[in-house]
Amino acid sequence: MTDANGQPVGNAWVHAQTPDGTLNANANGTADANGAYTLVGVEAGGYHLSFRAAGSMFIQWAHQKLTFWPSAEITVGAREPR
C-alpha cells in the first residue's frame, strides 16, 4: 500500500470486510516496511479493504475513500495449493 504521494506505508493495519459489511476477525494483517501485506483466512470473493497507519485513529478505505460504501470492491481469487 502507498500514501497519496506513492510512498510505501509500512506497519499499517489492513482489514477486509464482505460487501454486506460483515466483519471477519481473521481477515486482517499488517503491512511490512514496503507496504506489502497478506490477509490470511480470506476466502475467494469480493471484499472492501480498510487501512489504518500505525499510531493513527484515521481509517481509510481502498482507493482513498473515507467510508465503506463508496469504496471499491476488490475480488480475491482462490489460491492454488502448492
Model confidence, pTM: 0.75
Q: What is the pLDDT of residues 27-49, one digit of tens each?
A: 888 999 999 988 877 888 889 88
Which of the two residues, 81 and 1, has the higher pLDDT score? 1
Q: What is the pLDDT of residue 82?
A: 42
Give the mean pLDDT of the chain. Answer: 83
Q: What is the pLDDT of residues 55-68, one digit of tens each?
A: 888 888 887 788 88
67 and 58 in contact (C-beta within 8 Å)? no
Q: Evaluate the CA torsion angle 25, 2, 31, 77 in order and state its sign.
A: positive
Evaluate if residue 7 carries a pLDDT over 80.
yes
Total residue length of the chain? 82
SS3 for the chain, per residue?
CECCCCCECCCCEEEEECCCCCEEEEEEEECCCCCCCCCCCCCCEEEEEEEECCCCCCCEECCCECCCCCCCCEEECCCCCC
Picking from 49, 78, 81, the residue whose alpha carbon sits closest to that of residue 65 is 49
Q: How confident is the model at residue 25 (pLDDT cuts 50, 70, 90)?
A: low
